[in-house]
């Protein structure tokens, strides 16, 4: 019995995935393009198995009436889960098609070959192709047709140009660019902190500020301003933001996200122990605590959605990562049957985690149901993107090692203090849609919230288990369930802080043992693929580089296997530090098994490196006056062109290994490499991210 | 009031009741030019960059009344010797994009640089693009694409 990929179990019929129309192959997928190039990779897999050129593929993505339901596009899972479904489906379609043609011709399928969708027999065109000889696709996939061998690949594992890129270079490719006739523009008023209730709003003053007549729609604490003129509602929402008076709710203190704050929050604790072995009393014990603050995903484009409620049917256009899940929760919150809701994915700006796309979709859908027959377009403001969208959870990570006689860790404990890393729609049985929470009869928040289970890669615990050969390992997860901040998934989830902590700690232990950090790691690492990426990255960078500590210039290394079961990556960073970190260069080696589109993967890894560098050097959401203290990019700076490092990537050629996905692989190793390089350059270690000038100065002063 | 200006080489006239409306709003709503993007509305991210008399300028907060008599070029009007700009091909050749939302603003800043320097160094490209934010981390590919386009222009492509 073949085990089918989850996507195929949920959507078993071949015609849920593939159709042939007018010389094109239509590939239908529940996964969505969020800037990562997934549609190109899935199209490559389909083209490979059907033996057609990539140019014949048209991809329909994330449209509930047409596409297979595949949950969320997240967690670097798309190639693993959806890619294997597409591969099995297309292999089966090809096999059925060849059997059908063989029947027509009175030969066996083995006598036939396919080129550009046409069937050849003995190298000669038989006159049959996918488009002229229809086959019955309305049947379940069996998953038994053999897929093409990696050694025969013609499209997969080749660097191909992204299919979505041309219209994005100067065109109108985004959801923001949909411009239906007579569109009604809307802007929302958002509570300035979680759970705030609207006490008063001077609507007359808002209307005056709008300049042009607007409508004000208010139900409970949910307020929308609408007009045919977008600028009028932009002005209205800016004015309302300043005029609205709020009370109640939970207000974060200025130190929210710092180590001490995290450690004093109420927590639900659990312990995961592996290995055994008694450790002799009197052995040396080393401890250190690391942290990251709250982060925001910071897409360049604010979230946008359109919706229309007509003849009892709701249509929603969104850049949600989970169009089918969104449909379910729009149905429940707006009390419309899911059969009367169609959700259509359209591309937004880059998505690096759970952003406000679903919230914006609810906003548009809500307003649309109140102005039936009109197409409503909602766009979020930059301020609300900072203050009202979900944040990546702050974390404190405390490490403790009892060393053996050779100063290698014999007993290892990691304690993780963190709010949850996933509150997407539907999680914890809750809609998790901001607008729905403000409605008069909003259901109470869930009694207990959970983090991503370890079996799904973990949330706060993601990469919490060090991959090194540790005789005894203890992981303590302190789940902080009641924090005054809406936290959810941001690229890599807990891996960012955990890998930073573990890899910083490894360097500290190596230093204690008087060993080179690379040599020390290799002495604790039996996994051959792990060793290979570390050795390669070190060699690419000319490890160990400048050896004199306090020269202000140094290399540092970081390593992880994402989720401990996905792609391996080692990174080496070169920094120059005086009072500020100048990141000069990053070298990285990645083993992701079979890579569908090597150039696309390299692009993702390069981007992950730069984003991780931006987080590690600059980014932290701060709080003041009981609310997020960032309203503009001045308050939340990110890495600029003049600050980005040069990047060199090497992908391990491993087409025989399963594909592992690369979207989030770079986050942890890059941050760790930078942290270790800074420690070597300064001769002093900083354990709290981001590594800002203020922290460097404070650390240097404390040393003196 | 009536505002006359040049838009992508054509003289245009706009009957506008609100002289404080941003240029970006006019471009997107009145002229259906959707290449220039709304990012922040605060002149901080560069997604809305256009050329005003050849100078890269944010359009998201630029009041339309101040545009009278000036020449505005958006990414849709970005031509070189009357043909599509070499930058656009170079960005495809280098696959210099992920989500793509920042790219039209970056093309504008880069075009202004290449208009007077077709062989910019890495540091010169970075300086010219420093007002443009990219969140996907495509910076290095973008820098290479700008240099590639400059080389193509110098070679008369």
Residue A304: is its pLDDT beyond 90? yes
Integer Rg of chain B from CA: 15
Please write the tens of the pLDDT for every residue from A476-515: 999 999 999 999 999 999 999 999 999 999 999 999 999 9
Q: Which residues contact A472 (CB under 8 A, 6 or more apart)?
A: A273, A274, A275, A276, A277, A279, A410, A411, A412
Predicted confidence at residue A549, as pLDDT, reads 61
Whole-number Å distance between alpha carbons of B24 and A186: 18
Q: Searching chain A, which residue's CA lies closest to the CA of residue B86? A: A169
Predicted confidence at residue B25, as pLDDT, reads 96
Instruction: Report yes or no: A456 at the B interface, CB cutoff 8 Å.
Output: no
pLDDT band for position A36 (50/70/90)? Answer: confident
Please write the tens of the pLDDT for every residue from A393-409: 999 999 999 999 999 99
pLDDT band for position A468 (50/70/90)? Answer: very high
Please write the tens of the pLDDT for every residue from A518-562: 999 999 999 999 999 999 999 999 999 976 666 789 999 999 999
Q: What angle do CA A407, A413, A416 make, to 5 degrees?
A: 140
Residue B7: is its pLDDT beyond 80? yes
Predicted confidence at residue A1, as pLDDT, reads 46
Q: Mark which residues 11-40 of B lie under 8 Å from A by CB.
A: 18, 21-22, 25, 28-29, 32, 34-35, 37-40
Contacts of B136 in chain A (CB under 8 A): 35, 350, 607, 611
Instruction: Report yes or no: B90 at the A interface, CB cutoff 8 Å.
Output: no
pLDDT band for position B2 (50/70/90)? Answer: very high
Residue A464: is its pLDDT beyond 70? yes
Residue A2: is its pLDDT beyond 70? no
Instruction: Report yes or no: A404 at the B interface, CB cutoff 8 Å.
Output: no
Predicted confidence at residue A75, as pLDDT, reads 80
**Residue B47 is nearest to which of A168, A301, A351, comparing CB atoms?**
A301
Predicted confidence at residue A548, as pLDDT, reads 62
| Chain A: closest CA distance from residue B20 (Å) | 10
Instruction: Pick the closest to residue A522 from A587, A576, A570 (CA basis).
Output: A570
| Chain B: closest CA distance from residue A671 (Å) | 15
Instruction: State both tokens at A102.
Output: 């063989």
Instruction: Report yes or no: A279 at the B interface, CB cutoff 8 Å.
Output: no
Instruction: Pick the closest to residue A206 from A248, A245, A244 (CA basis).
Output: A244
Percent of all residues in chain A with a pLDDT value above 90, rounded to a whole number = 92
User: What is the SS3 assignment for A256?
Assistant: coil
Mean pLDDT computed over A416-425? 98
Predicted confidence at residue A551, as pLDDT, reads 75
Mean pLDDT computed over B35-59? 98
Percent of all residues in chain A with a pLDDT value above 70, rounded to a whole number = 99
**Residue A173 is nearest to which of B22, B100, B140, comparing CB atoms?**
B100
A21 with A117: CB under 8 angstroms? no
Residue A277: is its pLDDT beyond 80? no
Residue A282: is its pLDDT beyond 80? no
Predicted confidence at residue A550, as pLDDT, reads 63
- Categorise residue A403: left if φ over 0, alpha if ψ from -120 to 50, beta otherwise: beta
Whole-number Å distance between alpha carbons of A16 and A23: 19
Residue A155: is its pLDDT beyond 60? yes
Residue A594: is its pLDDT beyond 90? yes
Please write the tens of the pLDDT for every residue from A71-110: 999 887 888 889 999 999 999 999 999 999 999 999 999 9
- Give the sheet arrangement for strand A222-227, strand by strand: A215-219, A222-227, A184-189, A375-379, A304-310, A313-318, A341-345
Please write the tens of the pLDDT for every residue from A264-274: 999 999 999 99
Within 13 Å and on the Cβ side, how many CA atoms surround A125? Answer: 8
Instruction: Pick the closest to residue A572 from A669, A641, A686 (CA basis).
Output: A669
Please write the tens of the pLDDT for every residue from B86-130: 999 999 999 999 999 999 999 999 999 999 999 999 999 999 999
Q: Searching chain B, which residue's CA lies closest to the CA of residue A34? A: B99
Predicted confidence at residue A323, as pLDDT, reads 97
Whole-number Å distance between alpha carbons of A496 and A488: 14
B16 with B81: CB under 8 angstroms? no
Contacts of A177 in chain B (CB under 8 A): 34
Question: Could you tell me how many helices (H) and strands (E) chain A has, helices first?
Answer: 17, 29
Contacts of A211 in chain B (CB under 8 A): 18
Instruction: Report yes or no: B82 at the A interface, CB cutoff 8 Å.
Output: no
Which of A48-62, A278-292, A343-357, A531-545 comes out lowest in average pLDDT?
A278-292
Q: Mark which residues 115-144 of B lie under 8 Å from A by CB.
A: 123, 125-127, 129-130, 132-143
Predicted confidence at residue A392, as pLDDT, reads 98
- Categorise residue A17: left if φ over 0, alpha if ψ from -120 to 50, beta otherwise: alpha
Instruction: Give the sign of the dihedral formed by CA A527, CA A528, CA A534, CA A537.
Output: negative
Instruction: Report yes or no: A641 at the B interface, CB cutoff 8 Å.
Output: yes
pLDDT band for position B82 (50/70/90)? Answer: confident
| Contact criterion met (CB < 8 Å) for B97 and A162 | yes
Q: What is the DSSP letter of A148?
A: P
Find residue A490's DSSP bridge partners. Answer: A353
| Chain B: closest CA distance from residue A635 (Å) | 11
- Give the sheet arrangement for strand A57-61, strand by strand: A18-21, A24-29, A57-61
| Contact criterion met (CB < 8 Å) for A170 and B103 | yes
pLDDT band for position A603 (50/70/90)? Answer: very high
Which of B136, B141, B143 has the highest number of chain A CBs within 10 A, making it the mutation to test binding with A?
A: B136
A683 with A549: CB under 8 angstroms? yes
Neighbours of A133 (CB within 10 A): 15
Whole-number Å distance between alpha carbons of A451 and A587: 33
Of these ranges, A150-159, A215-224, A658-667, the one predicted with the greatest mean pLDDT is A215-224
Whole-number Å distance between alpha carbons of B63 and B61: 6
Residue A279: is its pLDDT beyond 90? no
Instruction: Report yes or no: A603 at the B interface, CB cutoff 8 Å.
Output: yes
């Amino acid at each position: 019995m073949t085990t089918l990929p989850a996507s195929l179990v949920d959507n078993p019929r071949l015609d849920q995935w593939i159709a042939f129309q007018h010389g094109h192959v239509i590939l239908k997928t529940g996964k969505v393009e969020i800037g990562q190039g997934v549609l190109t990779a899935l199209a490559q897999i389909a083209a490979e198995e059907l033996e057609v050129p990539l140019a014949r593929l048209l991809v329909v993505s994330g449209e509930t009436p047409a596409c297979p339901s595949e949950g969320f596009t997240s967690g670097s899972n798309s190639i693993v889960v959806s890619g294997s479904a597409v591969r099995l489906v297309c292999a089966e379609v090809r096999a059925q098609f060849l059997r059908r043609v063989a029947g027509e011709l009175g030969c066996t399928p083995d006598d036939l070959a396919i080129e550009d969708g046409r069937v050849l027999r003995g190298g000669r065109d038989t006159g049959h192709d996918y488009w002229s000889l229809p086959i019955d696709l309305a049947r379940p996939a069996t998953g038994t047709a053999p897929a093409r061998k990696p050694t025969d690949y013609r499209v997969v594992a080749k660097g191909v140009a992204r299919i979505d890129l041309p219209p994005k270079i100067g065109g109108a490719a985004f959801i923001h660019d949909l411009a239906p006739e007579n569109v009604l523009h809307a802007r929302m008023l958002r509570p300035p902190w979680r759970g705030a209730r609207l006490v008063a709003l001077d609507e007359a003053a808002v209307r005056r500020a709008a300049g042009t007549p607007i409508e004000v729609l208010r139900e409970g604490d949910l307020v929308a301003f609408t007009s045919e003129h977008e600028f009028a509602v932009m002005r209205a929402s800016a004015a309302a933001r300043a005029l609205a008076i709020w009370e109640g709710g939970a207000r974060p203190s200025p130190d929210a996200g710092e180590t001490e704050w995290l450690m004093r929050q109420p927590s639900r604790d659990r312990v995961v122990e592996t290995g055994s072995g008694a450790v002799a009393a009197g052995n040396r014990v080393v401890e250190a605590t690391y942290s990251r603050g709250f982060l925001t995903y910071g897409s360049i484009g604010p979230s946008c959605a359109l919706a229309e409620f007509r003849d009892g049917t709701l249509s929603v256009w969104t850049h949600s990562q989970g169009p089918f899940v969104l449909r379910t929760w729009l149905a429940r919150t707006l009390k419309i049957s899911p059969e009367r809701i169609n959700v259509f994915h359209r591309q937004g700006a880059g998505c690096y985690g759970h952003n406000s796309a679903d919230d914006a979709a609810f906003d548009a859908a809500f307003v649309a149901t109140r102005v039936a027959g009109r197409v409503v377009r909602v766009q979020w403001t930059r301020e609300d993107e900072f203050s009202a969208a979900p944040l990546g959870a702050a974390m404190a990570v405390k490490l403790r090692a009892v060393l053996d006689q050779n100063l290698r860790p014999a007993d290892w404990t990691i304690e993780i203090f963190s709010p949850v890393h996933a509150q997407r729609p539907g999680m914890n049985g809750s809609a998790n849609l901001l607008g729905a929470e403000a409605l008069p009869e909003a259901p109470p928040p869930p009694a207990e919230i959970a983090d991503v289970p370890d079996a799904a890669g973990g949330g706060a615990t993601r990469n919490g288990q060090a991959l090194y050969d540790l005789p005894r390992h203890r992981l303590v997860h302190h789940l902080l369930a009641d924090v005054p901040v809406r936290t959810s998934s941001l690229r890599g989830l807990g891996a960012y802080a955990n890998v930073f902590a573990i890899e910083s700690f490894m360097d500290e232990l190596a230093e204690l043992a008087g060993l080179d950090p690379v040599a020390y790691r290799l002495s604790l690492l039996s996994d051959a693929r792990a060793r290979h990426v570390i050795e390669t990255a070190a060699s690419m960078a000319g490890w160990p580089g400048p050896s004199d500590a306090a020269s202000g210039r140094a290399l540092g290394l970081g390593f992880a296997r994402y989720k401990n079961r996905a792609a391996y990556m080692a990174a080496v960073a070169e920094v120059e530090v005086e009072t500020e970190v100048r990141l000069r260069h990053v070298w990285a080696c990645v083993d992701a098994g079979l890579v569908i589109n090597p150039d696309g993967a390299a692009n993702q890894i390069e981007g992950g490196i730069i984003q991780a560098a931006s987080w590690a050097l600059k980014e932290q959401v701060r709080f003041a006056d009981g609310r997020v203290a960032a309203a503009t990019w001045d308050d939340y700076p990110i890495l600029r062109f003049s600050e980005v490092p040069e990047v060199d990537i090497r992908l391990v050629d491993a087409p025989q290994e399963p594909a592992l996905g690369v979207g989030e692989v770079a986050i942890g190793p890059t941050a760790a490499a930078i942290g270790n390089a800074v420690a070597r350059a300064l001769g002093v270690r900083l354990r709290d991210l981001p590594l800002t000038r203020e922290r460097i100065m404070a650390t240097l002063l404390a040393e003196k | 009031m009536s505002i006359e200006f040049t838009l992508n080489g054509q003289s245009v006239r706009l009957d506008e009741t609100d002289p404080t409306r941003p240029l970006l709003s006019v471009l997107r709503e009145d002229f259906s030019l959707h290449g220039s993007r709304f990012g922040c509305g605060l002149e901080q991210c560069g997604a809305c960059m256009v050329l005003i008399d050849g100078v890269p300028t944010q359009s998201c907060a630029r009041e339309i009344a101040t545009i009278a008599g000036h020449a505005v070029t958006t990414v849709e009007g970005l031509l070189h010797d009357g043909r599509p700009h070499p930058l656009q091909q170079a960005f495809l050749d280098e696959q210099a994009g992920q989500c793509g939302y920042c790219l039209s603003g970056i093309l504008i800043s880069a075009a202004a640089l290449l208009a007077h320097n077709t062989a910019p160094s890495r540091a010169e490209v970075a300086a010219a693009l420093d007002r443009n934010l990219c969140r996907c981390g495509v910076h290095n590919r973008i820098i290479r694409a700008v240099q590639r386009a400059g080389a193509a222009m110098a070679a008369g492509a």
